[in-house]
Structure 1
Amino acid sequence: MTAVEAYVVGREIAAADHPSKEVRAVLKRLVGDGWTLRSEAHWGTLYCPCEDHCTVIRVGGTPKNPGQEARRIQRKAKWCPLPPGDARAAPRSGVVN
């Protein structure tokens, strides 16, 4: 067990379990891209697909503003530095063609 695996403690949960449809949609996309969703913190925690889980995102179960929470999760998910050429890599400049 690596040092990173030591803090990944909760059981895996499904993105479909989240009560907010906006957050649920983002979670489904990220889990489909290889992220891991575990039952930790107030509702769940997302771990990036990198070997060392460089990006960890806390997901609340009852956000005051679900749309804003979904955007926050999407924004933080872009922090994960995927290998060059990976199809999941998003443009980081803010400019989308």
Structure 2
Amino acid sequence: MVGREVSPADHQHKEIREVLKRLVAVGWTLRKEGHWGRLYCTCAEGCLTIPVPGTAKNPGRTARNLARRAKLCPLPEGDPRRAPGGGVVV
């Protein structure tokens, strides 16, 4: 991981900010990288990273896509954050 940690409150779009707050609350790391930032998953291996755009054309769609991609993280069995079908509960 490179870049400094940033707060979800720093994002300019409300919809994206809300999703980022929920993901950071369950353990995801948000760092300043690329055009605005990058999310790193909660797994010890760091299996999934998600780029976060700073100027999304459609903030609502981008927020839904961030939440959808976060659910792809394969948390280990028995982890309380794991959804019934796998992935993170967002």
TM-score by length of 1: 0.84
User: Cα offset for 1:18?
Assistant: 0.5
- The alignment of Structure 1 onto Structure 2 pairs a total of residues equal to 86
What residue number does 1:50 align with?
A: 43
Question: Tell me, which stretches of 5 or more residues in structure 2 are unaligned?
Answer: none
Q: Which structure 2 residues correspond to residues 1-97 of structure 1 after superposition, within 5 A?
A: 8-92=1-85
> Which aligned runs of 4 or more in structure 1 are off by greater than 6 angstroms?
none
Identity of aligned residues (%): 60
CA distance in 1: counterparts of 2:84 and 2:64, whole angstroms: 16
Give distance in 2, aligned partners of 1:38 and 1:45: 5
Structure 2 residue matching 1:67: 3-state secondary structure: helix
Give yes or no for contact 1:35–1:47 (8 Å, CA) kept in 2: yes
In structure 1, list runs of 5 or more residues that go unmatched: 1-7
| Pair member with larger Rg | 1
- TM-score when scaled to structure 2? 0.90
Q: 1:92 to 1:64 in 2, by over 3 A?
A: farther
Residue 10 to residue 31, structure 1, CA distance change in 2 (3 Å) = same
Distance across 2 between alignment mates of 1:73 and 1:14? 16
